[in-house]
A = this chain, B = another copy of it.
C-alpha cells in the first residue's frame, strides 16, 4: 500500500492511449479528443491544448474488509500487462445524499446490497483496476476508475459494467462517463 499517488488523465493531441469512444452514462459527457495521456506524480499544469484534464489520487481502502482485501490480493494483477491493450476510464460522481450517509450505511448499500467488491472479484485476474479519488481535490468527479484488459476480455468487462450499473449503489450515481481506449505507444 504505497502513499497516495497523484494521477492526471490528460485528453488531447498526445498520449499513448487512443480514445475510441466517449459516452455519457449519466449527466453531461466530456468533450471529444483523439488521445489520452496518463501522468503519475506531483501535479503539473496541463498543457494548453488539452480538451480536458481529470485529476485524482490513489488512497487507502475505504470499504473493503480484511477477508475481502485478502481475496482481492490473491487474484488481482497489476496495471501495464503487455497483453492488456484495452483500457476504460470511468469518471463517476455520487449524489450529495450518498456523501451525507454514515459509513455503515454506505458500506451496506455498496457491499451487502450491491456486492460491488464481490462482483469485481468475479472478473479477476482478467480485468485489472485502479481506483482514484478526486472529491477532496475539488474535482468534478468523485472517482476515476481505470480498468485494463486484453481485447478478448472486453465482453467480460461489458458484463461487469452491466452488473454494477444494475445494483442499488448505482441509484446514488449522478454523473458517469465511459472513455474507451486502445494502447498505441
Please tell me if the beta carbons of B138 and A4 are within 8 angstroms of each other in the complex: yes
Given known pairs A136-B133, A136-B137, A137-B136, the reply for A105 and B66 (CB within 8 Å) is yes
**CB of A16 within 8 Å of the partner chain:** no
Quick one: which of A62, A101, A102, A135 has the most chain B CB within 10 A? A102
Which of A20-28, A29-37, A53-61, A156-164 is the contact stretch? A53-61
List of B residues within 8 angstroms of A136 by Cβ: 4, 57, 59, 133, 136-137
Please tell me if the beta carbons of B104 and A66 are within 8 angstroms of each other in the complex: yes
**CB of A83 within 8 Å of the partner chain:** no
**CB of A185 within 8 Å of the partner chain:** no
Cα distance A54–B128 when bound, in Å?
Answer: 35
List of B residues within 8 angstroms of A62 by Cβ: 62, 103
